[in-house]
Structure 1
């Protein structure tokens, strides 16, 4: 019966009251079913009731950990990073996942390598060296698995962002260029290169890359996500602001 009610709820729009009632009924029958409880948290998140969403998700995580499983924990790590910007919580969850699954060197958290989440959290906390090390470990594992590390957009992009924040611009430029070779429509890479060349006083290059970013953005190319604003997602006003800065100072000023 629990499966029956759960499956009916899946055909109903998640934020609706009817979806919640069917999911609640499934949980009344099987209160320890982690997936039902985790999916119920989605409803409250989509309705903007985030305190209740996290309360339910935390319950799912506790039940999952008791069974020595990490599925709900993986989703919570992803949610803490992208929805709630709880970077310390993300790192803590990913470390716990690695502790619980020591033989699994590539655990995926809701579609993305868990270590990628940790790396992005470290980046947002300004712990750039640790972020770089984490991303390099991810890329090394992917290389050992026979995958092309260039395909991991997040690991490469935020590794470059970290180098840029440390002022190691040439390392960042090399990574961005490798990403553009693989994906010539990577708007954010053009934008970040434009910012770097602005800092290094290469004004013509900076303008070239910022204009290219603006053109790609106008065509609909960006790191946008349907449910949340991505880290370093570029918007037209940001490009315009940087172009205006370039145009408002004599080139000689940038060389000093």
Structure 2
């Protein structure tokens, strides 16, 4: 029995010695060729949308890994910028977007213009980005962040109070979008902005025409408010104006108004605006 124990112990020691001397299995690769690096960097970024919340430490880690694999992949820098803009980390945001644009301007210059317009109210840089993107994609209407580039250029010029220039781009926007024959899907704020450019230049009948067209296709508190405001400027009957104001209030209470996450919408209508107009009748 004692010999058997010695034999078993010797056998186990020999087995351990043989195992320790054998080549360890490769559990994961540490070296990749250039094709593999690009492939895995892309997979890291594509996987973010499924596995991790934007801006989380886990997401940040994966983006860093993607950049280590392929520092020329623009999407990585854009993803780093996207989480920062929503948290108000302005300087870091634009650094990341600048890097993304330098690597792939056709994909990201319009997105940076979108940020300049809506988040930073930097209308000149927004227009510059939109114009330069247009040069990269001739005879094609771009939709950065799913928004027509001519609509955004019109908004930028409107906010610069360059109303004739804004009208030029709003006209292009509506001509392009109306090719489908259906204006119902166009956001109400597009009609509102187009009308505001005429209101501000004193062409009240033209402004009314744009607001009415918007109401016909997409009823919204903002459009009724601006129609009421225009009707007042045209010295229309008070009862007609008050009826419009009442509808605007009702729609606003139901959430039918233009608004935007993270930042205030241009010419966003508040209950205080409507009540001020009502009290002036």
Please classify the TM superposition score into its range, dividing by the shorter chain length: 0.7 to 0.9
Q: In the superposition, relative to structure 1, how do residues 58 and 195 fare at CA in structure 2: closer, same or farther (>3 Å)?
A: same
1:134-213 matches, cutoff 5 A? 134-143=169-178, 145-149=179-183, 151-153=185-187, 154-183=189-218, 185-202=219-236, 203-213=238-248
Q: In the superposition, relative to structure 1, how do residues 8 and 111 fare at CA in structure 2: closer, same or farther (>3 Å)?
A: closer
- Runs of 5+ consecutive residues of structure 1 not aligned to the other structure: 247-256
Count of residues in Structure 1 that have an aligned counterpart in Structure 2: 239
Deviations 1:229-248 (A, max 9, x none): 111121111111221222xx
Output the TM-score relative to the length of structure 1: 0.87
Deviations 1:187-243 (A, max 9, x none): 110010111122223233222212211111111211122232111121111111221
2:93 paired residue number: 53
1:23-102 matches, cutoff 5 A? 23-65=63-105, 70-102=106-138
The offset of 1:4, in angstroms, is: 4.1
1:251 paired residue number: none
Pick from 253, 258, 269: which aligns with 1:218?
253
Query: Counterpart of 1:110 in 2: which secondary structure?
Result: helix
1:127 paired residue number: 162
Contact 1:20 1:43 in 2 (8 A): no
1:5 paired residue number: 44
Contact 1:150 1:156 in 2 (8 A): no
- Runs of 5+ consecutive residues of structure 2 not aligned to the other structure: 1-39
The offset of 1:130, in angstroms, is: 0.8
Contact 1:15 1:46 in 2 (8 A): no
Q: Distance in 1 between matches of 2:193 and 2:261?
A: 20
Higher gyration radius (CA): 2
Q: Distance in 1 between matches of 2:101 and 2:143?
A: 16
Correspondence 1:18 to 2:52: no
Contact 1:34 1:63 in 2 (8 A): yes
Query: Counterpart of 2:76 in 1: which secondary structure?
Result: helix
